[in-house]
Structure 1
Amino acid sequence: MKNRQTVLTVALTGLAPTVWGSTYLVTTELLPPDRPLLATTMRALPGGLVLLALGRKLPVGIWWWRALVLGVLNIGAFNFLLFVAAYRLPGGIAAMVMSAQPMFVVILAALFLGERIRPVHALACAMGIGGVVLLVFRGTASLDTTGLLAAVGGALCMASGITLTKRWGRPEGVGLLAFTGWQLTAGGLVLLPFWLSLEDLPDGLTGSNVIGFAYLITLGAILSYIAWFRGIERLPAVAVSFLALGSPVVATLLGYLVKDQTLSALQIVGMVVIFLAVVLGQPRPPGPKSEGTPSAPLRTTVSRLPGRPALKQERGG
């Protein structure tokens, strides 16, 4: 029963990176063009406010700054750096650098959570990076230093966010809706000044824009982050980090299915390698428990004493 629950938790948590993998397609096809910060801010802030209204609970005491830190790492800074990297690096390089994120979590989890570094984790990290390289790499090109630093920073933000969310946990008496709302709101508020200062407001919104924003707010933020933070609570941090490798796989498949992009044999191999890396990174089911040495059967003997017989039970063997 416990193994089945773990598999269901892994599957539900993996839905979050699956949805996030569709963000690029939704942004390019449905949202106003060339406004990535608008898309990111609109995904985080309205969803966070909706969850705050439903959860009806604000942070208290130390959780004001903890919620801010988690919101910045998991959402605000992570998304900002991700978009910087995507715009300044050639195709696929940002995803390749971001694929190092599980390796960072393995190290941070060992330092701050006491999770043991296992050889299988090192193997899974290498396979994950290799699989993403096969999936997205398109030849050599000059690399932008700012873009590389942004990609590394984004990977570190995500790894740190997963680790700290696991270490601090969820405060007692606070529901998952409110806890997720804190982080989305904090991340959205951090992104807001960057959006207003770096991008122009769109002239108007079309029906496609409204559908795209609705998708990002509901599936891309509210439902996906609830599943994500629930998974961090119930799974080892390292296991959650490997699930994030599903995003580039979904993005590639959607590009092939929706935008008629090519899908090479090497890319298919890369997907298989990524899948195996994700499987290797998940918690191992416990082995069968030892039953110990069975008790020797009871042997009943009759001791004849003066007056009446007495029954006595002894351990045989």
Structure 2
Amino acid sequence: MTPGSPRGTVGPAGSPVSRGHPPGAALTALAPLTWGTTYVVTTEFLPHGHPLFAGLLRALPAGLIALAISRTLPRGSWWGKAAVLGVLNIGLFFPLLFVAAERLPGGVAATLAAAQPLLVAVLAMVVLRQGASAWHLGWGAVGVVGVGLVVLGPEAALDTVGVAAGLAGAAGMALGVTLTKRWGRPPGVGPTAFAGWQLTAGGLFLLPLTALVEGPPPAIDTAAAAGYLWLGLVGGLVAYVLWFGGVTALPVNSVALLVLLSPLVAAVLGAALLGETLGVVQYAGLAISLAAIGAGQLPAPAFSRRPIPPSVPEGTFR
């Protein structure tokens, strides 16, 4: 909490000082750990060829539940901000994620998603006017290498549409995370309401697109229903409440590196449930990625930070 700030106010640079204790890195990390199950659930349980429908079911029901729990709606300019964040973090990201998961081997899709911390580090300099941090850029690059060692294999064929979807999804969410940090949360608004705004906005964005592009929904058997339920309630509602609470409370570069946990979990689940094998190279990649995640939670040493030029006033981008 900022010294002298009452509870429920917003601190410098959009940092929330909301009621209660903000989630730490360990609690926030539960979100990408949960998202690591998406690839297995998508490929093994959900009907293929319906990425918009999958994104819609993951977002809109979870958002409506969060709104019912919090009973809090946006006010003033936050209607527009919530819509922008919902489209970037949810409405565009979810279907692009499912397209990449369907069209690419899991390793390729995961490596593309792992580029997000690097994109956030760059956007933090532009949008948040933070000084360049060689520390976070460096560990972000190390993390991508580690993820690549874990998940890339000889079957890592490239599909143009899948690669474009993976990169666009990573870029969109990176911008969404950065803007979330820029704007913070309104005074007195908790993470459940904040997640509900964005999940609902993203779901409403997907609703007409799904009907126009994919037409009638696919047949849903028991396995698919369980998969959608898991992705919506756990991977959507619970995970995003934790995630947005962490994004607004923790340093943006540090929380972005937590995203690397998702492909690592996907690789471990692939070995445990799908019969995929992990060798010496994969275990080395796991160690490298975990080291990058851990190091990224530490404050950047002074020698690795480049200060903002005096000619650029802070707070220019609101």
User: Across the two proteins, how many residue pairs are aligned to each other?
Assistant: 283
> How far apart, CA to CA, are the structure 1 residues paired with 2:82 and 2:29?
23
- Is the 1:32–1:202 contact (alpha carbons within 8 Å) kept by the matching residues of 2? no
2:213 to 182, 198, 201: 198
- Is the 2:48–2:102 contact (alpha carbons within 8 Å) kept by the matching residues of 1? no
C-alpha distance after superposition, 1:136-167 (max 9, x if no partner): 22238664443333222111111111110011
2:68 to 46, 50, 53: 53
Q: Secondary structure at the match of 1:44?
A: helix
Corresponding residue for residue 259 of structure 1: 274
- Is the 1:94–1:148 contact (alpha carbons within 8 Å) kept by the matching residues of 2? yes
1:168 to 183, 202, 210: 183
1:80 maps to a residue whose letter is P
Percentage of identical aligned residues: 48
**Could you state the TM-score of these two structures normalised by the residue count of structure 1?**
0.81
- Is the 1:102–1:125 contact (alpha carbons within 8 Å) kept by the matching residues of 2? yes
Cα drift, residue 231 of structure 1: 0.5
Corresponding residue for residue 94 of structure 1: 109
2:39 to 19, 24, 35: 24
- Is the 1:91–1:138 contact (alpha carbons within 8 Å) kept by the matching residues of 2? no
Corresponding residue for residue 291 of structure 2: 276
Q: Which runs of 5+ in 2 are unaligned?
A: 1-20, 303-318
Corresponding residue for residue 223 of structure 1: 238
Q: Which runs of 5+ in 1 are unaligned?
A: 1-5, 288-317
The alignment status of 1:103 with 2:92, answered yes or no, reads no
1:51 maps to a residue whose letter is A
> How far apart, CA to CA, are the structure 2 residues paired with 1:141 and 1:258?
20
- Is the 2:43–2:102 contact (alpha carbons within 8 Å) kept by the matching residues of 1? no
Structure with greater Cα Rg: 1
Q: RMSD across aligned C-alpha pairs, in angstroms?
A: 2.6
Corresponding residue for residue 77 of structure 2: 62
1:106 maps to a residue whose letter is A
Q: Secondary structure at the match of 1:92?
A: helix
C-alpha distance after superposition, 1:235-265 (max 9, x if no partner): 1000111000111110111111111111122
> How far apart, CA to CA, are the structure 2 residues paired with 1:75 and 1:271?
28
> How far apart, CA to CA, are the structure 2 residues paired with 1:89 and 1:147?
6
- Is the 2:146–2:289 contact (alpha carbons within 8 Å) kept by the matching residues of 1? yes
More displaced 10-residue stretch of structure 1: 108-117 or 174-183? 108-117
> How far apart, CA to CA, are the structure 2 residues paired with 1:15 and 1:33?
27
> How far apart, CA to CA, are the structure 2 residues paired with 1:142 and 1:260?
20
Corresponding residue for residue 84 of structure 1: 99
Distance 1:203 1:131, change over 3 A: closer
Cα drift, residue 8 of structure 1: 6.8
The alignment status of 1:187 with 2:202, answered yes or no, reads yes
> How far apart, CA to CA, are the structure 1 residues paired with 2:160 and 2:43?
25
> How far apart, CA to CA, are the structure 2 residues paired with 1:30 and 1:97?
23
Q: Secondary structure at the match of 1:173?
A: coil
C-alpha distance after superposition, 1:60-104 (max 9, x if no partner): 221111111100111111122223333444552232222221111
2:247 maps to a residue whose letter is I
- Is the 1:25–1:255 contact (alpha carbons within 8 Å) kept by the matching residues of 2? yes
Cα drift, residue 286 of structure 1: 10
Q: Secondary structure at the match of 2:83?
A: helix
1:150 to 154, 162, 165: 165
